[in-house]
Chains A and B, each alone.
Chain A
Amino acid sequence: MTSLDTRAVVTADSATGGRRAKRRYAPERRRSVLLTVMLWLLVLYFVLPLWWLFVSATKDNAALFSTFGLWFGGDFSLWENLQTLFTVRDGIFTRWLLNTIGYSVASAVGATLLATMAGYAFAKYDFPGNKALFSITLGAIMIPLTALALPTYLLFSSAGLTDTPWAIIIPSLVSPFGVYLMRVYAADAIPNDLIEAARVDGAGEFRIFWQVGLRLLGPGLVTVFLFTLVGTWNNYFLPLIMLNSSDLYPLTVGLAQIQAAASAGGGSQALFSTVITGSFVTVLPLIIGFLFLQRYWQSGLTTGGVKG
């Protein structure tokens, strides 16, 4: 862990920007047709399953099992499917969707805030224990979170917190990797002179963090936010063990439940198109989010990139 730490050298956002302008010279013009074709063929592997998901979400049950999977067939029933999806079992899917949004946004905001404060302190303050505590945090990246799930469940259950939203949100607030990323990012993005100048002006440490630090940490914040959001949005294990009432389920657990019902009850084939349309709706918001915010998270990651 510490070897990762000591060798992780970081480039400032401005430095990479400057360098990038300089770095692409002659070879850039020489495009390779072979490489382009190869890469786009590889892209098919990643895209086709999602394409299948979209196409299948537009089919009714009969067409789902009788037409070719990768192309449209039968009637275009996307709207009917969506209607079924959102009305089945008194609109429980809407509830799951809202739960997922609530859990992930709450955890992501909290985790980002905690990680940013800690990362900023590790990067910008010299205090006894700085190195040791940071090494412990890095070491924690390796603790398998699912191995902790069982004792966490028991602790929550003795505190009477299982089967509540807190059981999902509180464990998701810890993001050691977020602390690592924010430390690396803050070290570069916030010049020490700026902090000193603010101190000379008489600003308190917390004001400096809120007004100077946070403003300069934009891309880093978006990166940590998005990745913790995805972590909670996609989590299955934790809600599966923590929650009992289906009213509290997030999408992942809900979908797995309908899927199990669909495969178990041979006669209830109608459920398959609900599962598929539900999966499509589950995936859509995150894909759109990543597309729209790509500029931020890509630059956030570039800066956080480990370099030898």
Chain B
Amino acid sequence: MSQSPALTAERPSLPAPPKRRTSLTKRRQRRAAYLFILPFFVVFTTMLVVPLVYAGYLSLFESKLIGGEVFAGFANYVRALQDSAFLASIGRMGVFFIIQVPIMLGIALFLALALDSGRARGSKGIRLLVFMPYAVPAVVATLMWGYLYGPDFGPIAQIARSVGWGTPEFLTPENILGSMMNIVTWEFIGYNMIILYAALRSIPTELYEAAELDGAGQFRVAWSVKIPAIRPAILLTVIFSVIGTFQLFSEPSLLNAIAPDAITNSFTPNYYAYNIAFINQELNYAAAIAFLIGIVIAVVSYIVQLSAQQRERRERGIR
């Protein structure tokens, strides 16, 4: 390693030393890189991969009164796919996703574009105040809205009664899904707005300066320049929303205390999995349900990505 240059110069048939030196530093750098990522991947493996595999393993067994744990193949999955309570909870979240996510992301995108256009007074204050609910735990947000929805003393009911609209019923079985959509929308518009706003800020101005100078209005610029430019960020918010929607837990579990008739123990898939595991003590079945929730999320995310890609390809074709 510590060969002197003179020595190597004497023997030109051996060009190895300088090469070996670079490969040595390279190897040293590689070793450092692996050491840098090692701690993360140790925790990643123990806290993500192992539980995932374990859940898959558990889901293939059945606990019998006689004989204990028995291998059951896909029996738990077959049962889940015939379980009307589980299917209904997935369907409910499908409805939730189709209605709530476009509203939430639409408002978030509108706010981000409005703030980015720099045409409103106090943009900085608006940005912070809209983001604020993100710092509120879902538990507190649900508690709070629970009181606000209250038919007797809630301020919404107080106002509605004083203008003669009667008492709005937020917590009935028919309306509870909408009330929950509102809570989630309130919690996450700000977060999504910040992601979209950050993406908007990084669009090079040259992209729309020309259009603006040509007299294109703000709506036109937003629609044909800005929104296409931040498509990956929009896709990211949609995928985060898929994950969030199918995992809803705090909201139904807290609302259950104030509206037990409206929130069944299978209102959302995740709440159902919790009840099966910890109230009914059916761990194997709960593992299968948890696994299926993961699969639903993966499939929906994949469909979202695929349709986004197809759309982009189509539009490129037109251009």
Contacts and interface: CB of A to CB of B under 8 A. Distances in A.
B105 interface: no
B36 A121 contact: yes
A307 B119 contact: no
A30 to B, nearest CB: 6
Nearest to B308: A3
A107 B233 CA distance: 27
A31 interface: yes
Interface in B280-317: 283, 286-287, 290-291, 293-294, 297-298, 301, 305, 309
Interface stretch (B67-75, B96-104, B126-134): B126-134
Nearest to A283: B136
Contact of A16 (B25, B29, B201, B230): B201
Chain A interface extent, by class: 35 or more
B114 A144 contact: no
B18 interface: no
Contact of A69 (B54, B148, B230, B233): B148
B199 A305 contact: yes
Contacts of B189: 46
Interface string B24-45: 0100111011111101110110
A209 B132 CA distance: 34
Contact of A43 (B130, B228, B229): B130
A148 interface: yes
A71 to B, nearest CB: 9
Contact of B47 (A8, A120, A152): A152
A225 interface: no
B249 A146 contact: yes
Contacts of B121: 31, 36
B251 to A, nearest CB: 10
A7 B228 CA distance: 13
A25 B254 CA distance: 49
Nearest to B185: A45
Chain B interface extent, by class: 35 or more
Contacts of B5: none
Contact of A301 (B129, B198, B228): B198
B77 interface: no
Contact of B55 (A118, A121, A140, A148): A148
Given A125-B29, A147-B293, A117 B39 contact: yes
Nearest to B139: A252
Contact of A236 (B37, B138, B155): B138
A143 B32 contact: no
Contacts of A64: 153
Interface in B140-166: 140-141, 143-145, 147-148, 152-155, 158
A302 interface: yes
B295 to A, nearest CB: 10
The secondary-structure label for the interface of chain B is: helix
A234 B198 contact: no
B204 A179 contact: no
Given A27-B119, A283-B135, A144 B243 contact: yes
Nearest to B218: A27
Contact of A23 (B136, B153, B205, B236): B205
Given A3-B309, A150-B277, A151-B287, A259 B257 contact: yes
A140 to B, nearest CB: 6
A142 B297 contact: yes
B144 to A, nearest CB: 5
A22 interface: yes
Contacts of B145: 49
B167 interface: no
Could you say which of A27, A133, A141, A308 has the most chain B C-beta atoms within 10 Å of its C-beta?
Answer: A308
B231 interface: yes
A154 interface: yes
A79 interface: no
Interface string A85-127: 0000000000000000000000000000111011011100101
Could you say which of B34, B202, B273, B277 has the most chain A C-beta atoms within 10 Å of its C-beta?
Answer: B202
Interface of B: 25, 28-30, 32-37, 39-41, 43-44, 46-48, 50-52, 54-55, 58, 107, 111, 114-115, 117-122, 125-126, 128-141, 143-145, 147-148, 152-155, 158, 186, 189-190, 194-195, 198-199, 201-205, 209, 212, 218, 228-233, 235-236, 239, 243, 246-247, 249-250, 253-254, 257-258, 270, 273-274, 277-278, 283, 286-287, 290-291, 293-294, 297-298, 301, 305, 309
13 contacts: A46-B189, A52-B147, A69-B148, A122-B37, A140-B48, A142-B298, A146-B247, A154-B54, A155-B50, A237-B250, A241-B278, A283-B140, A306-B232
